[in-house]
Amino acid sequence: MGLLLSLENRGFVCLCLIFALFLEVQQINGKVYKVGDSAGWTTIGNVNYTAWAYNNTFQLGDVIVFEYNPQFHNVMQVRHAEYRSCNVSSPIVTYSTGNDNISIQTGGHHFFVCGVPGHCQSGQRVDINVRAAAATPPATINPPGATITPSTVPAPSHNDARSDYMPLGWVVLQILMLAGVLFRI
Ligand SMILES: [Cu+2]
């Protein structure tokens, strides 16, 4: 039967490739962070969400996941003043599915608290701080009288800024494979 795939097989291969591409695009767009890691979003165990947030570096496009039992908790995005005082009377948004995926689309601070009375006060709150992307390298300050030899200074490499990126070549290869399966190139 050679290398020709039946129509059903081609459809299956297509689906697999589309799924793989979808996963890779997700990975390129941003990382997924589960708040509190294995503990999730809870008051049990006194999870230090401040330390958790501090130990992670959030970037635009990242997805923050709040996992919890919706019978006991929720997630409210609030402003800074409300975050500090644990005021849950006027949230910006309330999430309550128990598995809330929040895509971070703006820089700066994103304040989240649990709206159940007493929970924020006992530490169930987190500040997701998306620092500005390092688009421009910091200006080099030359001491007076220093000899500036720009031609010998190697250009700063931006390629290793997100080393977790899927190699682009692999994505392109898969697109070509997909096209091959679809159009029998
Ligand atoms: Cu709670």
Give distance in angstroms: CA of 59 to centre of ligand 1: 26
Mean pLDDT of 136-143: 49
Contact 68, 25 (CB under 8 A): no
Give the model's confidence band at 131: pLDDT under 50 very low, under 70 low, under 90 confident, else very high: confident
Give distance in angstroms: CA of 144 to centre of ligand 1: 57
Give the model's confidence band at 113: pLDDT under 50 very low, under 70 low, under 90 confident, else very high: very high
Q: Pairing mode, if any, of strands 32-34 and 63-67?
A: parallel
H/E run at residue 28: helix 7-29
Count the Cβ atoms, other than its own, within 10 Å of residue 59: 15
Give distance in angstroms: CA of 87 to centre of ligand 1: 14
Distance between CA 64 and CA 67 in Å, rounded?
10
Residue 41 has pLDDT above 60, yes or no: yes
Q: Pairing mode, if any, of strands 108-113 and 32-34?
A: unpaired
**What is the structure's pLDDT at 165?**
43
Give distance in angstroms: CA of 102 to centre of ligand 1: 17
